[in-house]
Structure 1
């Protein structure tokens, strides 16, 4: 597999995405084994004449509601390709938990697939159900997903993009934080906005990143130090970034390494959108899609999933969702803006499914008891 070229940015611990016509090397982030996840491939071939019906796709609200979001583009393009198909999005409160509860109650799922699944949600579903909520599709494009992004040992959840959790900061107000310890020092006092690990994906990813850094015996001590230095914890990324940070309430926020793409697109002050990779790292947080077990439209769902892994769709998803694509070859379709401003940490880190299973809920509960309250 060809290798992606990166242009190092001096002093930041972050690399700018450059020369994106080639793919990644498939290396797994620290702690992840690239070869332990099966790649289920097949040939879900279909012609426009052979597919019909309504495909119900469950997802999170911003996938369909944000301006220029990926969801509406995928719906329109897929329906143009398959004129007898209608794609219908649903955004239930509770997201994946909604379907876990319905499965527990023996109620119909009423959706064919889910877009926006992460490893924590998959583990929660597996831990609380006696039967699988999702099944394993056969996808002709599934083999092209970067190995390091695969997070489901059974191959049910298929990654379609990834983000890297980082610290975004205002360089006119605070120095660049280079390490985790910097965030506990006086120069950065009362500076950081973070999210609740119980209610926000970014908050949970940042918590897991601190566990990766300090271990299960040390992460709560680190969070106590953050509290002593005035960290503010809010319930959601929107509340912390879109509201508090963008209103100038704090000079630092836990967010994504792609935030400069967003800032440039909407002409926001780039001074306030500098990206810091603590210890040269970023926490990889891939998003996946999965087909609900027992779907009446299983073939249609597989075709839609395969469509989401085409180079065309991957480029659109990355740009519209402001995340990195899961298929290396699709990086050639990224805009110049994305190639200029999206950044990849020198050292991506993450936890595997096996490392998190049986532990992540306890870690979050201990954190909530000690820190969030």
Structure 2
């Protein structure tokens, strides 16, 4: 998953949004190819014409990132092949918006959601009243090629379409070129690395939450708070977002930052010094954050929605999504092409990918974050 994706806040902040906002009635959609894709609470990209229309909800940077994003390419190529209009819908509250509308009994004028993760599904299942927002995924051509271990929905609604890995990014030019990042979680506690790490608050940053979860994987639920206390004693600096932490890293406030193993892809595109963008997988592991897509249960275009999901899993499309979203493909047979050889060179895959399952997180992740906030952020 592209690192800009992780700037968004979820968890406790997302639940606050869910509790504090009411859905706005925007009217029921009409049926058929002329139905409107307009939603007064979100941005809509693309204008439906006289053809069949597929409305796909996603996060804004998937279609309009400053650097690169896959939305425009997907729209152009899907429309050309299927003789249909693809309309992107990007409400500011993302998944929360649809949970609110469903709970308020307001019609949802969207067919597919692109950008689900395990945290979002847990939030959905804990806060949705009544029937499921998403349908069980249909049988899809290409689904058999999804990498083992990326599936994160035990109910079979979400189909992975890309993934990303949390890592450290470190600056080998620091300390006159003598700096080398530690190789393990325990190594971060060494006195020589005092004040050298920038991280993110797991209550307000998905990057920080993933790093916290990785530390729980490494130290266990009984040991992670003690570990963070030691990390705090060693001068870790915790900022609210990936953006603020990475900006501080970019101005040499510290030689290490929690970020993503695709960091060198950005650095290469910008012509930056790769020694300032080294990747370190602590304990030879990267915490995996797959993204999925799902069909809204109330779609009136199930066949077109299925075609779109199958399109997203094609080898050549998977390659384009990975390159343009600065992520990794969800399938084993992605095709990058010679024009993207540099991407394959600079996007680094960890020796071992680790993550918590839906069942392991449900009912516990919020408590882990709250305990961390009381003990670490409160000090």
Shorter chain as denominator, the TM-score bin is 0.7 to 0.9
**CA deviation string 1:31-64 (max 9, x = no partner):** xxxxxxxxxxxxxxxxxxxx94222222112111
Match of 1:77 in 2: 77
Match of 1:131 in 2: 131
Range with bigger deviation, 226-235 or 354-363: 226-235
Match of 1:228 in 2: 233
**Offset at 1:287?**
0.9
TM-score, structure 1 normalization: 0.82
Match of 1:299 in 2: 303
Whether 2:113 is the aligned partner of 1:109: answer no
Mapped to 1, the partners of 2:243 and 2:88 lie a distance apart of 21
Q: Is the 8 A contact 1:311 1:333 kept in 2?
A: no
**CA deviation string 1:62-119 (max 9, x = no partner):** 1111132111111111112123x22222222232222222222222223222111111
Q: Is the 8 A contact 1:52 1:82 kept in 2?
A: no
Structure 1's 178 and 99: CA in aligned 2 closer, same or farther, altered over 3 A? Answer: same
**Offset at 1:331?**
4.3
Match of 2:242 in 1: 237
Match of 2:19 in 1: none
Mapped to 2, the partners of 1:278 and 1:119 lie a distance apart of 22
Match of 2:349 in 1: 344
Whether 2:312 is the aligned partner of 1:324: answer no
Whether 2:136 is the aligned partner of 1:150: answer no
TM-score, structure 2 normalization: 0.80
* Structure 1 runs, 4 residues or longer, greater than 3 Å off: 331-334
Match of 1:88, SS? strand
Match of 1:9 in 2: none
Q: How does 1:1-373 map to 2 (within 5 A)?
A: 52-66=51-65, 67-83=67-83, 85-129=84-128, 130-138=130-138, 139-173=140-174, 174-241=179-246, 243-331=247-335, 333=337, 335-373=340-378
Mapped to 1, the partners of 2:154 and 2:352 lie a distance apart of 23
Mapped to 2, the partners of 1:253 and 1:177 lie a distance apart of 12
Structure 1's 99 and 235: CA in aligned 2 closer, same or farther, altered over 3 A? Answer: farther
Range with bigger deviation, 153-162 or 91-100: 91-100
Q: Structure 1: 5+ residue runs without aligned partners?
A: 1-50
**Offset at 1:211?**
0.8
Structure 1's 110 and 225: CA in aligned 2 closer, same or farther, altered over 3 A? Answer: farther
Range with bigger deviation, 210-219 or 225-234: 225-234
Q: Structure 2: 5+ residue runs without aligned partners?
A: 1-49
Q: Is the 8 A contact 2:316 2:336 kept in 1?
A: no
Structure 1's 92 and 230: CA in aligned 2 closer, same or farther, altered over 3 A? Answer: farther
**CA deviation string 1:196-221 (max 9, x = no partner):** 21232211111110111111111111
**Offset at 1:325?**
0.5
Match of 1:230, SS? coil
Structure 1's 91 and 172: CA in aligned 2 closer, same or farther, altered over 3 A? Answer: same
Mapped to 2, the partners of 1:184 and 1:100 lie a distance apart of 41
Mapped to 1, the partners of 2:97 and 2:281 lie a distance apart of 34
Mapped to 2, the partners of 1:144 and 1:52 lie a distance apart of 31
**Offset at 1:332?**
5.1
> Paired residues, what number?
321
Of structures 1 and 2, the one scoring higher in RCO (CA 8 A, sep 6+) is 1
Structure 1's 228 and 244: CA in aligned 2 closer, same or farther, altered over 3 A? Answer: same
